[in-house]
Chains A and B, each alone.
Chain A
Amino acid sequence: QQQVKQSPQSLIVQKGGISIINCAYENTAFDYFPWYQQFPGKGPALLIAIRPDVSEKKEGRFTISFNKSAKQFSLHIMDSQPGDSATYFCAASVSGSARQLTFGSGTQLTVLP
Chain B
Amino acid sequence: NAGVTQTPKFRILKIGQSMTLQCAQDMNHNYMYWYRQDPGMGLKLIYYSVGAGITDKGEVPNGYNVSRSTTEDFPLRLELAAPSQTSVYFCASSYSPGVPNNEQFFGPGTRLTVL
Binding site for B on A (CB under 8 A): 4, 6, 9, 32, 34, 41-46, 49, 89, 93, 96, 98-106
- Distance, CA A45 to CA B56, complexed state (A): 24
Cβ contact within 8 Å between B42 and A98: no
- Distance, CA A101 to CA B42, complexed state (A): 11
Cβ contact within 8 Å between A99 and B31: yes
Which chain B residues lie closer than 8 Å to A49 at the CB level? 101, 103
Which chain A residues lie closer than 8 Å to B4 at the CB level? 43
Interface range on chain B (Cβ under 8 Å from partner): 20 to 34
Is B75 close to A, CB under 8 A? no
- Say which residue of B44, B104, B105, B108 sits within 8 Å of A42 (CB atoms): B108
How many A-B contacts if CB must be within 8 Å? 59
- Say which residue of A9, A99, A105 sits within 8 Å of B102 (CB atoms): A99
Cβ contact within 8 Å between B45 and A43: no
**Main SS at interface, chain B:** strand
Is B50 close to A, CB under 8 A? yes
Within 8 A of A (CB), among B33-60: 33, 40-45, 48-50, 56, 58
- Known contacts A43-B106, A99-B102, A100-B58, A105 near B42 by CB under 8 Å: yes
Which chain A residues lie closer than 8 Å to B85 at the CB level? none
